[in-house]
Each structure stands twice: as structure tokens, then as C-alpha cells.
């Protein structure tokens, strides 16, 4: 298991946040490992507060026994983070918005329950095959799905980074939540657009080896070699 975040080459502060939670054996937490990655939006301290608030809310909600299904717990925790961030913006920022993407994967045996909002992604790497298991909530993704632009036209596009859903922006935001079947040896990898916006999916798969800590450093290094135009965060674990 590995979690790594980096400010990049162009920013002077890090609005990303990431975490991993290992459940207590026999503790009734409903999962074995949970990975969380967030990418704050709104600029400066606003994004940092939003991303860290969401990570900590998820950490608190998941780090305890619970009878409710894990999908329900993820939905509830993200809703609580959304309300907390909006209250902070109203109280401290005179109503100026603050928000964050979120992607969280709670892994129980050979099943991952994945919740996300925004363009931070979850992937499953099986051997050298990589599958994106989340659909970006972004203007570019909508245009790709509508056939207006091609996936090959994304990099450097003026709409790159414009998201359509985020925690903290209100309007009844609900995350997408689903289950993903896993196999032994698979790697579940979450990352922000600071990584997947600069490193191709096939390159992400090729960079992940036996040592996940070293793999995380390699991936962040690739993003920085290509300009490090944004903060980048990766969290991953290998399925037993």
C-alpha cells in the first residue's frame, strides 16, 4: 500500500490530499483497506481546506464499526463533508465557494466499493492491463461522451480541468457509487488529474511494480518530468 502527494513544479501550495485506512481485523468496519484521494478547487487555502476536510470526514466515518452498508456510509460521509465545507465557506469566506474532487475505494476481499465526484480517478491494474473504473465529471468528459471531441484531443484543451461535480459546491451534489470485482494481485490505484493529465494510462500501468512505494515515487516523478503543472497525488494497494 502506498500514498504519495506532491506540490509539483508550478504551484507554491498543495491543494491535494490523500490517505489510506487499514481496518482493525475483526472490528466490523466493513472493509479491509480504504483509499482516499481529493483535489481541492477554489485556489489557495480554500482548496486545501476542502480536500483535507473531506479526507478527515471520510477517515472518521470509516474508522469505526458500523452496521450500515459501506456504500451508504460513503454517501453519508461525503454529504457531511459537503455540508461542512459549505458552512466553512459561508462563515470564513463570505460565501465564496470552496470545493474538492473526491475518489474513495473501500476494498473488502475481492470487491471494491468506489465513490467519486469530479475528475480524480480510480483504476484497476490487472497485470499490464489498466481499466479506468470511474467516469470523469468534467466538461471535457461530457464532450467526449457526446462525440464532440476525441480522447486524443484532451491534452492542452482549454476546458481541461473544468469539473462539473465537486464536494462543497452544494446543489444536491451526489457522488457516483458502484462496486468493482477484483482478482488476487490486482492493484487498485486512485489519482488526481495532476498525474493522469500528464501520464498516459498505459504508462501508469507500466510504472506500477512489486514495490508500491517505489511505484508511487516513479509516477509522481513522471508527472514532474512533464512539467509538474499541478499538484499530483496517488494512492494504491494490491489485492491479496
Edge-to-edge order in the sheet of strand 16-22: 16-22, 33-41, 99-108, 111-117, 176-181
Provide the greatest CA pair distance for the chain: 50
- Average pLDDT across each block of 10 residues of the chain; the chain has 240 residues. List them in order: 97 95 93 98 82 97 93 96 92 85 98 98 97 94 83 74 87 90 98 96 97 99 96 98
Provide the 3-class DSSP secondary structure of residue 54: helix
pTM, two decimals, is: 0.94
**Quick one: which of 21, 10, 2 has its CA closest to 236?**
2
Q: Give the rounded distance of the alpha carbon of 210 from its chain centre.
A: 22
Q: Is residue 215 within 8 Å of 209, Cβ to Cβ?
A: yes
- The confidence score (pLDDT) of residue 44 equals 57
pLDDT in tens, 127-160: 999 999 999 998 888 888 888 888 777 777 777 7
CATH superfamily of 2-238: PPM-type phosphatase domain (3.60.40.10)
- Give domain limits for the chain: 2-238
C-alpha–C-alpha distance, residues 85 and 31, integer Å: 26
Amino acid at each position: 500500500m502506498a500514498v504519495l502527494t506532491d506540490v509539483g513544479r508550478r504551484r507554491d501550495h498543495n491543494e491535494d490530499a490523500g490517505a489510506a485506512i487499514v481496518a482493525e481485523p475483526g472490528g466490523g468496519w466493513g472493509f479491509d483497506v480504504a483509499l482516499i484521494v481529493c483535489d481541492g478547487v477554489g485556489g489557495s487555502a480554500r482548496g486545501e481546506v476542502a480536500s483535507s476536510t473531506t479526507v478527515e470526514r471520510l477517515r472518521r466515518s470509516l474508522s469505526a464499526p458500523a452496521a450500515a452498508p459501506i456504500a451508504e456510509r460513503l454517501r453519508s460521509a461525503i454529504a457531511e463533508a459537503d455540508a461542512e465545507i459549505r458552512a466553512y465557506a459561508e462563515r470564513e469566506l463570505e460565501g465564496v465557494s470552496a470545493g474538492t474532487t473526491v475518489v474513495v475505494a473501500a476494498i473488502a476481499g475481492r470487491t471494491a466499493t468506489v465513490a467519486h465526484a469530479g475528475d480524480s480517478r480510480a483504476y484497476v491494474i490487472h497485470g499490464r492491463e489498466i481499466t479506468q473504473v470511474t467516469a470523469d465529471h468534467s466538461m471535457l468528459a461530457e464532450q467526449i461522451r457526446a462525440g464532440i471531441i476525441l480522447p486524443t484531443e484532451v491534452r492542452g484543451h482549454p476546458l481541461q480541468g473544468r469539473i462539473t461535480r465537486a464536494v462543497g459546491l452544494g446543489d444536491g451534489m451526489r457522488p457516483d457509487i458502484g462496486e468493482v470485482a477484483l482478482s488476487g494481485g490486482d492493484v487498485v490505484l486512485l489519482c488526481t488529474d495532476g498525474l493522469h493529465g500528464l501520464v498516459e494510462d498505459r504508462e501508469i500501468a507500466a510504472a506500477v511494480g512489486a514495490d508500491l512505494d517505489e511505484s508511487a515515487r516513479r509516477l509522481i516523478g513522471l508527472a514532474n518530468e512533464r512539467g509538474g503543472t499541478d499538484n499530483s497525488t496517488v494512492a494504491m494497494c494490491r489485492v491479496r
